[in-house]
């Protein structure tokens, strides 16, 4: 396993267009997370899945954002009608959560950088 | 509302000396604290963690100290090496339920280790 893969690595789009990012997590991991990172800030939580179920969404995730994880494998994050404020690095992470285990260590992908013109 | 804060945007250290990175938090419900390191064009990578029931955790050159009463933690790197130059993020999470694994990150500290 080569870790968490994200595609594309860079996306430049015009305001109003739709974009979709894909994340392939580590295969044995049962949780998948999406975070967003803007310049000079740490990653901010957007949403996460336990297997195929989306368990929580941040208030940062407006109605223009939708995430899916069909069959509990890869995940997609779609942004509709992009705005300049959506420009950021979108990070995917995965983890294996076991009952009674310690800190939940997330393994991050390299991210998908979005630039909205 | 910045629940995890890293007040030093950057730190410069000489090779072989100690690097001390600091982090403060406000949410008393946080139960686990983690440090991540990030190189340019890569995602953050896990470095070390500590549970709230401990005050120290050590892994090789890296030691994390937790002061719960002060809501403060620090990462010590000794001796520092040029390859340690990166952005360091402090992160925290709660225990159990949906808060478990949902990390709240600080803004990051850029560490530069000079040869």
Kindly indicate the confidence band of residue A101, based on its pLDDT and cuts at 50, 70 and 90: low
Write the pLDDT tens digit of every residue in A38-83: 999 999 999 999 988 988 888 888 899 999 998 888 999 999 999 9
Residues B47-82: tens digit of each pLDDT: 999 999 999 999 999 999 999 999 999 999 999 999
Q: Which of chain B's residues have a Cβ under 8 Å away from the Cβ of A109? A: 43
Please judge whether A33 and B98 are an interchain contact, meaning their C-beta atoms are less than 8 angstroms apart: no
**B98 three-class SS:** helix
pLDDT for B99 equals 66
Which of A3, A50, A103 would you mutate first to test chain B, the one with the most B CBs within 10 A?
Answer: A103
Q: What is the 3-state secondary structure (H, E, C) of chain A?
A: CCCCEEECCEEEECCCCCEEEEEECCCCCCEEEEEEECCCCCCEEEEEEECCEEEEECCCCCCCEEEECHHHCCEEEEECCCCHHHCEEEEEEEECCCCCCCCCCCEECCCEEEEEC
Chain A contact set for B51 (CB, 8 A): 102-103
Q: Which of B51, B28, B40 is nearest to B85 (CA)?
A: B40
The whole-chain average pLDDT of chain B stands at 93
């Amino acid at each position: 396993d080569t870790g968490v893969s994200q595609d594309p690595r860079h996306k430049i789009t015009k305001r109003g267009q739709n974009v979709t990012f894909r994340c392939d997590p580590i295969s044995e991991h049962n949780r998948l997370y999406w975070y967003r990172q803007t310049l000079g800030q740490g990653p901010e939580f957007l949403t996460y899945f336990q297997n195929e179920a989306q368990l929580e969404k941040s208030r940062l995730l407006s109605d223009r954002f939708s995430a899916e994880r069909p069959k509990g494998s890869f995940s997609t994050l779609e942004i509709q009608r992009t705005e300049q404020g959506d420009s950021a690095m979108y990070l995917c992470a995965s983890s294996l959560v076991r009952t009674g285990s310690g800190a939940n260590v997330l393994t991050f992908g390299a991210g998908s950088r979005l630039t909205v013109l | 509302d910045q629940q995890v804060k890293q007040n030093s945007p950057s730190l410069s250290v000489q090779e072989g000396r100690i690097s001390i990175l600091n982090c403060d938090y406000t949410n008393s419900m946080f139960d686990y604290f983690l440090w991540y390191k990030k190189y340019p064009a890569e995602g953050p990578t896990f470095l070390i963690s500590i549970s709230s029931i401990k005050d120290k955790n050590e892994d090789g050159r890296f030691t994390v100290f937790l002061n719960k009463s002060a809501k403060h933690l620090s990462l010590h790197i000794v001796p520092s090496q040029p390859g340690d130059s990166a952005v360091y993020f402090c992160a925290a999470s709660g225990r159990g339920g949906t808060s478990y694994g949902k990390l709240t990150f600080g803004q990051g500290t850029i560490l530069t280790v000079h040869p």
